[in-house]
């Protein structure tokens, strides 16, 4: 009897405690919790993460910038002679779009003109490139006339020399760090109508004296090229007068700026015999033994001596005679 009473008491007690626990739990469910502490720590976490995100974004931005400006890359100075004609803006557009992909490129555009023209001035200002705009008119007696065969006189010689003059003036004025950077730079002569691969610029970027490579579609050949044996240039693959000192096209070599600055007499001879313009310049700077073969030891064509067809204006001329020509105020 005593035992039974005790069991019953225990059972009732257990039941009561459970019931109270259940009631308390149900009451808690209905109540709003005090979330202040919880919220504060979340806010802190968010602002911490925001700070980290900002730091990361800044890091990405600076590394992207350094990718574009690449301060440690050697600079490439590209000298381009150009002259007014119907296709000029089209040629310059194509060229500038190539150059926009090349880091640390400084474009020296030399107009064959008595004054800088508005077309080239405006074009360069909008190009997004680092550039210098020069002009130098080819004297009449040195200029190819309308009906002269294209090989009679060299073209662009005066303008390339003007580009060299600008580089030498800049070299003379430079001091300290700036002068040291110029010593590392390279100079390339890029006509406005050729076609250039991007790889070409990385090949030439590290040039000790004069680097060389093949040029496609030139001299009546699929390509002309230095011939390399045991890592050295030993002769030239060309269809015409292979014994010229440097039987290479203008597009086939680049010269270190240091070499140009230390040989102030080196320039292009506008009166040079046909095919000797490149030699007239390079003779002052190197011998064949010094040439540095690039483009996989001169086995790859990375530049093409393309030429743009002169557009025919038969219908334009006919319409102009009737006073119905294209609006002359529209720049083409
Ligand atoms: N050029 C120039 N003045 C001229 C003819 C040509 O400045 O009267 C420039 C031309 O824009 C080009 C370079 O000189 O950048 C070589 O000219 P071109 O392409 O006509 O020569 P080729 O293709 O025969 O080597
Ligand atoms: Mn050309």
| Residues 149, 56 within the same domain | no
User: Do residues 45 and 104 share a domain?
Assistant: no
Q: Give CA–CA dist 94/99, Å, rounded.
A: 9
Together in a domain, 152 and 269: yes
Residue numbers annotated as active site: 278
The rounded Å distance from CA 270 to ligand 1 centre is: 13
pLDDT band at 171 (very low <50, low <70, confident <90, very high): very high
pLDDT score for 61: 62
pLDDT digits (tens, 9 = 90+) for 305-318: 999 999 999 999 99
Say if residue 56 is in the same domain as residue 137: no
Ligand 1 pocket mutation pick from 156, 159, 268 by most atoms within 8 angstroms of CB: 156
Work out which ligand 1 atom sits closest to the CA atom of 156: 14
User: Does one domain contain both 45 and 138?
Assistant: no
Residue bearing the CA closest to ligand 1, atom 14 = 156
**In this predicted structure, what is the pLDDT of residue 35?**
46
When pLDDT is cut at 50, 70 and 90, the band that residue 147 belongs to is: confident
The domain spanning residue 184 has which CATH number? 3.90.550.10
Whole-structure pTM value: 0.81
| Residues 132/106, Cβ–Cβ less than 8 Å | yes
The DSSP 8-state label assigned to residue 250 in this structure reads: G
**Mean of all residue pLDDT scores within the chain:** 90
Whether 146 and 234 map to the same domain: the answer is yes
* Dist. CA 273–CA 157, nearest whole Å: 12
Q: Which two tokens stand for residue 315?
A: 């219908």
- Residue 181 located in a structural domain: yes
Write the pLDDT tens digit of every residue in 202-248: 999 999 999 999 999 999 999 999 999 999 999 999 999 999 999 99
Ligand nearest to the CA of 274: 1
Q: What angle do CA 68, 73, 78 make, to 5 degrees?
A: 85
Position 71 confidence tier, pLDDT thresholds 50, 70, 90: confident
Nearest CA to ligand 1 atom 24: 150
Does the residue 329 lie in any domain? Answer: no
H helices within 153-288, ranges in order?
Answer: 157-173, 176-184, 198-205, 257-262, 277-282
User: Residue 181 and residue 231: Cα distance in Å, rounded?
Assistant: 28
Ligand 1 pocket at CB < 6 A? 80-83, 112, 138, 143, 150, 155-156, 159, 191-193, 307
Is the domain of 51 the same as that of 99?
no
Q: How many domains does the chain have?
A: 2
């Amino acid at each position: 009897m005593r035992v039974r009473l005790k069991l019953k008491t225990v059972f009732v007690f257990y039941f009561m405690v459970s019931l109270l626990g259940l009631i308390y739990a149900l009451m808690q469910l209905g109540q709003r919790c005090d979330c202040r502490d919880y919220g504060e720590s979340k806010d802190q976490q968010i602002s911490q993460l925001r700070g980290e995100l900002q730091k990361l974004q800044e890091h990405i931005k600076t590394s992207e910038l350094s990718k574009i400006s690449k301060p440690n890359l050697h600079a490439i100075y590209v000298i381009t002679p150009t002259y007014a004609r119907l296709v000029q803006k089209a040629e310059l557009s194509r060229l500038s779009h190539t150059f926009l992909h090349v880091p640390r490129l400084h474009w020296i555009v030399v107009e064959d003109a008595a004054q800088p023209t508005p077309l080239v001035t405006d074009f360069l200002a909008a190009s997004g490139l680092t550039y210098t705009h020069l002009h130098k008119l080819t004297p009449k007696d040195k200029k190819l006339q309308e009906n002269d065969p294209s090989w009679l006189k060299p073209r662009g010689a005066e303008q390339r020399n003007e580009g060299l003059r600008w580089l030498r003036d800049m070299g003379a004025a430079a001091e300290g760090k700036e002068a040291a950077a110029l010593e590392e730079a390279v100079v390339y002569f890029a006509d406005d109508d050729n076609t250039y691969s991007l790889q070409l610029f990385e090949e030439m970027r590290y040039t000790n004296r004069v680097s060389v490579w093949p040029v496609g579609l030139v001299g009546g050949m699929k390509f002309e090229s230095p011939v390399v044996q045991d890592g050295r240039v030993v002769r030239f693959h060309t269809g015409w007068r292979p014994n010229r000192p440097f039987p290479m096209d203008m597009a086939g070599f680049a010269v270190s700026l240091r070499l140009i600055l230390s040989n102030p007499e080196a320039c292009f001879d506008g009166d040079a015999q046909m095919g000797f313009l490149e030699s007239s310049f390079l003779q002052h700077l190197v011998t064949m033994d010094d040439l540095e073969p690039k483009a996989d030891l001169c086995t790859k064509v990375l530049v093409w001596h393309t030429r743009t067809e002169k557009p025919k204006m038969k219908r334009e001329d006919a319409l102009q005679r009737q006073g119905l020509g294209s609006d002359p105020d529209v720049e083409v």
